[in-house]
Structure 1
Amino acid sequence: MTRIVVFGSTNMDLVAYARRAPARGETVAGHAFRTIPGGKGANQAVAAARAGGEVALVGAVGSDDFGYRLRDTLEHCSVDTDLLRTVEGPSGTAHIVVDDEGGNSIVVVPGANGTVTSLSHGDEALITGADLLLLQLELPLSAVVDAAAHARRHGVRTVLTPAPAQPLPPELFDATDLLVPNEHEAAVLTGRVDPHAAALALLDVVPEVVVTLGAAGCLYAARGADLLAVPAPRVRAVDTTAAGDTFVGALAVALGEGRPVPDALAWASAAAALSVRREGASTSMPYRAEIEAALGTSEPLEADPA
């Protein structure tokens, strides 16, 4: 079984569903509201665990009720939380508006995530024993750099999701094996709007890149290889909030199992397509059997019943 450590965030998602997101200064009526465990780190951990990985999460939750619920959800999903700290104060929150087309707008308030500024000896030992380390940018950047560098020193493959999008220091690129931005994040990092050009430009700083394109699938670029486009399964989207994290979690499992890159990308794309059929982040993520079943059909993936 692939051993995956996720060094990342946990947030409680406060999700409002509305016909459309409000413009600046505008109030719109919503038709539903939910609190759903999320955060990019927790989402990737749950996605990887459901896809069949052996997963541990390093990060922090607050001492509030959200923190208890976040930890409980992760444990229920078979994610090891032994090194998930509990700190005094509020847990991280993400304030999300989901429109009727399944699109979303998000504001993240770090809360406890902002306290993870360094690695403990236990964190370092856990990373050393992993096959892959998954990283995002919802924890303090200095700690993300330290985790990536530690993984590199010990031969652990690092997979970085550069979100929220921001300029990154050279030392983080130097310690990244696979970079997985979406179109927007790739444009921020390279200044190139065209995802094909952005993917190729990113090979100047990392050896492998996957640019996710939503319903259009993804692009894979590697030094010395041709650019590879992988389509996504056809799907009627309900909520795209966790699609990218589902993709990364499933991709990590597939790569850890030694699947060829085209097969691993198809597996991850199927997992992401399944996730957008359901509302929520962690609640939307498919199990391994569902991914395998989806890969065996050419029929459109309809939305799950409400």
Structure 2
Amino acid sequence: MRGRVVVAGSFNQDFVWRVPRFNAPGQTQLGSFASGPGGKGSNQAIACARLGVTTTFIGALGEDAIAQQAIALMQAEGVDARWEGHPTLASGSAAIWIDAAGQNMIVVDPGANLALSAAHVEAQREAIAAARVVLTQHEIHPDATRRTLELAGEAGALRIHNPAPDVPADAAAPLALVDVLTPNESEFAALLRAHCGLDIDPDALHALADAELHALCRRLPPPSLVLTLGARGAFVSHADAGQDGGPCHRVPARAVDATDTTGAGDAFNGGLAVALAEGRAFADAVRFATAVAALQVQRPGAALAMPLRDEVERLQAEGQEAGTGNGKLKPGASGKTVLDRPL
């Protein structure tokens, strides 16, 4: 059964420059330019809709050309968008640099996203109550995020929070309201520093023994945590030792030829939300999310690179036929590995 997902989050217009390598301070170089839709919330909502679930998106816009493009995009993608308008603010935008290896550097101006109000979220109570999964991030006003999670909890929906981008602790979601937390390595280290006073090297997390990494995950309140580890896959930790047949496990990444990793984390979170909304076992949901991200990073762009349902199912079927067990693909011609930055 394909359930309903509600995403409360941001819309940004992405302005993207591709360069051979990232600039040194003071350096000017030639590159190529493109523009397209983005924003973590919008990306995740489009990922969910393309994977075949009924999707509602709650967001905020200014009154400008970007807003018109956002409204048209959501209509074209079949997303039920509930916009709050802010005439005195610009819609969100992001400047993105992508190097020849597919790595990226991003600067975001949230604009109207940070004005999304708890009152507007409250007005969407009925849609939230109808959802099986509600997904939030850190690119909207924290009051709006909190109210979304509160309403989802009251309705009995599963609450997934993607703590991205990293923000000050007072602007972050209350972790006690979250059922599934999905940080990448740097976000996880920041959460441990803010909530536990621990100073952890994010680049060293993947090398920790499972028991040690699980113990760190259990320092945070959410009962389930999916730590994305880039090319090393994902680490899953549950407070309930009976879930997934044990308290923790790893899910390998897939090796593919990455073109652009800009929306990888959003693809993963959208895939995870969809799979859990459909009632899949948690481990299976993480594998499904990994396949969604693997397809997304092979294409340029963020929202418009999200794969369709049949593409994901075909990828998973190909992996099973190859007898890889985890569905891992062979590297592309360049030998690059997918998710070579944290999701």
**The TM-score by the shorter chain falls in which range?**
over 0.9
Change (3 A) 1:73 1:203: same
> Post-superposition shift, 1:125?
2.3
Q: How does 1:1-306 map to 2 (within 5 A)?
A: 1-30=2-31, 32-81=32-81, 83-88=82-87, 89-120=89-120, 121-168=122-169, 172-190=174-192, 191-193=199-201, 194-195=205-206, 197=212, 200-204=215-219, 205-223=221-239, 224=241, 225-298=246-319, 299-300=329-330, 302=332
> Post-superposition shift, 1:189?
0.8
Give the TM-score of the pair, scaled to structure 2. 0.83
Runs of 4+ in 1 over 6 A off after TM superposition: none
Residue deviations 1:52-108 (CA, integer Å, cap 9, x gap) = 111010011221111111121122111111x12232132100110011111101001
Amino acid aligned to 1:124:
R
Contact 1:60 1:116 in 2 (8 A): yes
Contact 1:239 1:280 in 2 (8 A): yes
Change (3 A) 1:119 1:203: farther
Q: Find the aligned partners of 2:139 and 2:24 in 1 and give their Cα distance.
A: 25
Structure having the higher Rg? 2
> Post-superposition shift, 1:12?
0.2
Give the TM-score of the pair, scaled to structure 1. 0.93
Contact 1:192 1:198 in 2 (8 A): no
Residue deviations 1:88-141 (CA, integer Å, cap 9, x gap) = 132100110011111101001011112113233422222122111100000011
> Post-superposition shift, 1:272?
0.1
Change (3 A) 1:171 1:231: closer
Flag structure 1 segments of 5+ consecutive residues without an equivalent: none
Q: Indicate the SS of the match to 1:52.
A: coil
Q: Find the aligned partners of 1:171 and 1:67 in 2 and give their Cα distance.
A: 26
Change (3 A) 1:20 1:171: closer
Q: Indicate the SS of the match to 2:61.
A: strand
> Post-superposition shift, 1:246?
0.4
Contact 2:62 2:85 in 1 (8 A): yes
Contact 2:160 2:179 in 1 (8 A): yes
Identity of aligned residues (%): 37
> Post-superposition shift, 1:23?
2.8
RMSD of the TM alignment (CA)? 1.8
Q: Indicate the SS of the match to 1:47.
A: helix
Residue deviations 1:156-183 (CA, integer Å, cap 9, x gap) = 1110000111344697111000000011
Q: Find the aligned partners of 1:173 and 1:199 in 2 and give their Cα distance.
A: 17
> Post-superposition shift, 1:282?
0.8
Amino acid aligned to 2:64:
D
Change (3 A) 1:166 1:90: closer
Q: Indicate the SS of the match to 1:278.
A: coil
Q: Find the aligned partners of 1:236 and 1:154 in 2 and give their Cα distance.
A: 41
Residue deviations 1:200-224 (CA, integer Å, cap 9, x gap) = 3232311000011122211111012
Change (3 A) 1:261 1:59: same
Aligned residues: 301
